[in-house]
Amino acid sequence: MIFLYTALRAEALPFIRNLNLKMEEGPFPVYRNQDTILTVTGTGPLSAAAAVSSVLNIHSPGEEDFLMNIGIAAGISNASLHTVYRIHKVTDLSSGKDYYPDLLITPSTPEASLITGAKRYAGEPTDPVFRTVSDSKLPVLSDEAILYDMEGSGIAMAAPHFLAPHQIRILKAVSDEGNPITKEDVSALSELLYQAYLEELPCMKAQCVKEEVPAVFCDSLAEDLHASLTMRRSLSQLLYYCELAGIDSHSVIDSYYQRGLLPVNDRQKGKILLEEIRHELLR
Amino acid sequence: MSCSAEKFRHLYIESSILDHPETKRIRSLFPNAVCIPVERYTDVFSRPHQSYRAQYASMNLILAEKHGTAVYPGAPVCHDFGSERFFYTAMAVNCLYDCSYCWLKGMYNTANLVIFINLEKAFEETEKLLEEGPLYLSLSFESDLVPLETLTHQIQRWNEFVKRHPGLSTEIRTKCGADSIYASLDPDPGMIFAFTLSPQSVINALEKGTASLHERLKAAGTAMEQGFPIRLCFDPMIRIPNWKEEYAGMVLEVSKQLDLSRVKDISIGTYRQSDTYQRRMRKRFPASAVIQYPYETKNGYCQYPEAEKNEMEQFLKQELIPFAGEEKIFLLEDNS
């Protein structure tokens, strides 16, 4: 499942349209299809965090799933207007805490750091965000692209409770440098973000791969051995290892049934037989 | 496996050392890497729920300053080779190689590599410990330093340090086959190069990215000819199918390439892992047979059952004695 988060419905429109997402009832506006759930979080980091928790709590993401926060941001320094950036570091302005999504497989999209605050960015030189960066109160490099938004840290703070760092991606398009923007600007940038999402998608799918593991069923054998909980765990681990190592445990165990050695009458005999089976399988 | 200019896409650098000459030197080796300043290295290194599997193919480098203690007492499950004072230092953490059984996978949940640039801190603490008497110091406890040498220069600096401190015996353990490094160092009895050796079938299956057995033996031979004391470490032994034939074949290969009477000593050990780390590794690597093996737990450590463990260790010891002599061979019980 792909979990998408945008702050504004306007940012979500290209995704809703192109992915044919249908609205669902819930505490937050949610649009979904078979493999994508898009949530409109509203503005502010707290709202974003609440939206992430609300949706991921219900859907319990696994190894193959990932989350993308997609939206517009202001450029504070070294950031090009109307450019999409992948975010490698998010700083929450109020707490000073940093978050680091893992950017593993990377297309050509440039990278940037993101600062998140609860208020709109008003631009240099008076905005406290600008002064925080220019006065080197945050650790930044002189040539680093730095953006500002109002949701990123909420996403970055909540998502790690459900997902690994490589399953979290933040894409931001630079809309302004503190000046007001129009609805048309938002619409154009949202289309740009949709294209960036399409480019990002195969990278995310390639790095979010579920590891296949064998299933082991040993309840019946455990009963026939009168296994205690400890014995059952040992048996389960033994049979699981045999599956991984390509050892044919079924034939060996079948031979014990065929020779009338299984089932046993009591736990003591079961313990001895389990040790014998172990030795037979692992020699 | 080496540190090419494209090896690391991201360098996370503690902001306090951005202007350090060593940081600048390392940054210059990776001109295309994206540099990300961080407050503390643990902000990146110790993030929850990281995936080693996902990260290993795109490993990142973290440059940091070591705070607190840099030299620690040695672990009881490691050979101390008869030394009463066994310590280790870890000024590089994690490894370029991906060995399936490595304890680092239980200790850390990340594949990212950390280099601590303030090596002088380890030197200062070692000098303080040497005031109380000679000691044995493992330098590559949490990493393989040899393939990292072009990046860190730590072996070169330790080489110079060892020469100035006769009471210090150091060990650098490696699975690297690169042998040009040995000509650039000054041989000293206090700098032991220890080569981990396994049958090629084990290397192929469980020691990804490392040098072949042949390459390791060639490197060991080069280091020996240069004048360095050489240790061979058959550790951990893994109970693979046909293990007797595999390990016997390996000993023959080793004896053909190296004069075992000239090695300083040999250590033998079977797989062992703290119970805590084993549980973590089983959760993180559900498809790894060597980690999922049904080891026994004894005194807080997962290992082969005593009978199997002794069988394996004694078998290998007997195979090695004709070539090396019994007095050079250390088993873990010899620590007591």
B314 has a chain A CB within 8 A of its CB: no
What pLDDT, on the 0 to 100 scale, is given for residue A105?
Answer: 82
What pLDDT, on the 0 to 100 scale, is given for residue A283?
Answer: 80
Q: 22-41 in B: which are within 8 Å (CB) of A?
A: 34-39
In tens, the pLDDT along A119-131 reads 888 776 777 777 7
C-alpha span between A259 and A26 (Å, rounded): 61
Query: Environment class of residue A88 by beta-carbon count within 10 Å: exposed (0-12), middle (13-18) or buried (19+)?
Result: buried
| pLDDT of B321 higher than 50 | yes
| pLDDT of B334 higher than 50 | no
Q: What is the mean pLDDT of chain B?
A: 94
Using a pLDDT cut of 70, give the percent of chain A over it. 96
In tens, the pLDDT along A160-191 reads 999 999 999 999 999 987 777 888 889 999 99
Nearest to A106 among B9, B37, B55 (CB): B9
What pLDDT, on the 0 to 100 scale, is given for residue B166?
Answer: 93
Is the pTM here over 0.90, yes or no?
yes
| pLDDT of A137 higher than 90 | no
Q: What is the ipTM of this complex?
A: 0.92
Q: Which fold has domain A2-207?
A: Rossmann fold (3.40.50)
What pLDDT, on the 0 to 100 scale, is given for residue A98?
Answer: 95
**Nearest 10 degrees: Cα torsion B302, B308, B314, B317:** -60
Residues B55, A213: C-beta atoms closer than 8 Å:
no
Q: What is the mean pLDDT of chain A?
A: 92
Q: Which residues of B37-54 are buried (b: 16+ CB within 10 A; e: fewer)?
A: bbbebebbbebeebbbbb
The number of C-beta contacts closer than 8 angstroms across A and B is: 82
Helix, strand, or coil (residue B72): strand
- Integer Rg of chain B from CA: 20
Mean pLDDT of B289-312: 94
What pLDDT, on the 0 to 100 scale, is given for residue B77?
Answer: 66
| Cα angle value A217/A218/A219 (rounded, 5°) | 105
User: Measured in whole angstroms, how far is the alpha carbon of residue A276 from the centre of its chain?
Assistant: 45
Residues B294, A234: C-beta atoms closer than 8 Å:
yes
Least confident of A79-93, A126-140, B28-42: A126-140
What pLDDT, on the 0 to 100 scale, is given for residue B111?
Answer: 96
Tokens of B134: 């000679």
What pLDDT, on the 0 to 100 scale, is given for residue A207?
Answer: 87
Nearest to B47 among A165, A211, A238 (CB): A165
| pLDDT of A248 higher than 90 | yes
A232 has a chain B CB within 8 A of its CB: no
What pLDDT, on the 0 to 100 scale, is given for residue A134?
Answer: 67
Nearest to B37 among A104, A139, A234 (CB): A139
Q: Which residues of A touch B54 (CB under 8 A)?
A: 102, 104, 164, 166, 207-208
What pLDDT, on the 0 to 100 scale, is given for residue B335?
Answer: 40
